[in-house]
Chain A
Amino acid sequence: KQEVTQIPAALSVPEGENLVLNCSFTDSAIYNLQWFRQDPGKGLTSLLLIQSSQREQTSGRLNASLDKSSGRSTLYIAASQPGDSATYLCAVINNAGNMLTFGGGTRLMVKP
């Protein structure tokens, strides 16, 4: 059974810092991996989707990498801003199936 772990569970940084969020998964036979953002009491916003054949995806200040063989992905946020404060979730879809398995999330606080 696929298990997804995110480290750290919570992170507080001053504005302007570059930061890295980590995600690991136990079964490397994935179809794709997604990073989501969730604001308190809200639904999910998809940030980046990496197909299993890809190594990274970039969108603005966000860069996500994928090392499928080692079961790891990182989300890099450059020049963090208070508006980046949210919970970041990673999720994978396995080759066998169509359901997303979510990590526990990283709660990010960017202080002005």
Chain B
Amino acid sequence: GAVVSQHPSWVICKSGTSVKIECRSLDFQATTMFWYRQFPKQSLMLMATSNEGSKATYEQGVEKDKFLINHASLTLSTLTVTSAHPEDSSFYICSAGTSGRETQYFGPGTRLLVL
């Protein structure tokens, strides 16, 4: 149980386009989902926290108009990288949890390459 999937696992896009990444909790309802970004050989940096049905809370330094997060249901959150640039190339990982501080379950990650 407690499986989290991400789609796509790999995406290559041209500079200026928008890319949507999906994060799904497959066998449980996730009231909270977290989006992380990871650069090569570095640790995970939290980008934002999203609660189902409400606006996401962004970490300092993360542009909310650049990284649009939608958590429309208890099993799906999406991250849209708008007008992507090469510096947005990174590994994006989501995690999902139930209410409070219960264990977060991590997705397999999405590697984005912007040309």
Binding site for B on A (CB under 8 A): 31-32, 34, 36, 41-46, 49, 89, 93, 97-105, 107
Contact = CB atoms under 8 A, between A and B. Distances in A.
Contacts, number: 51
A41 B42 contact: no
Interface of B: 6, 32, 34, 41-46, 49, 91, 93, 95, 97, 100-101, 103-109, 111
5 contacts: A43-B106, A43-B108, A46-B105, A98-B100, A102-B44
Dominant SS at the A interface? Answer: strand
Contacts of A89: 43-44
A89 B32 CA distance: 22
Contacts of A43: 6, 93, 106-109
